Amino acid sequence: METNPSYYNLPARIQLDRISSKIIGIRKLVKGRIVQKDAEKILEIARQIISVAPELEVVLICTKNICSKSIRLLEENKIGIQYVEVN
C-alpha cells in the first residue's frame, strides 16, 4: 500500500499512515475542533483514495476534539475514526 499522497492525486500536505495491509489512515491532528466542514473535506480525501485503490478501507486518525455531526457524517460514509493522544 502506498502512503504517498501524490499517488492518490492528493496535495502533499495531507498525511497518510498505513494501519494494516487493507487500511489507510488520514492523519488530522489539529489543536482546534474538527467541525462538519472539516469532515466534508476529509470525506472528499477518502473518496479520492478509494477511487484510486477501491480495496482499501479509510479511517481518520485524530484527537477526541471532533464534533458529533462530524462523527455521524463520517460513520454514515463508512469512514472509521481512530483516536490518538497528543502531548
Give the model confidence (pLDDT) of 41-86 as tens digits.
999 999 999 999 999 999 999 999 999 999 999 999 999 999 999 7
What whole-number distance in Å separates Cα of residue 35 and Cα of residue 70? Answer: 6
19: domain CATH number?
Answer: 3.40.1350.10
Q: What is the pLDDT of residues 22-52, one digit of tens each?
A: 999 999 999 899 999 999 999 999 999 999 9
Name the 3-class secondary structure at 40.
helix
Range of the domain at 20: 5-83
Number of domains in the chain: 1
Distance (Å) of CA 13 to CA 45, 59, 67, 68, 86: 12, 17, 23, 26, 19
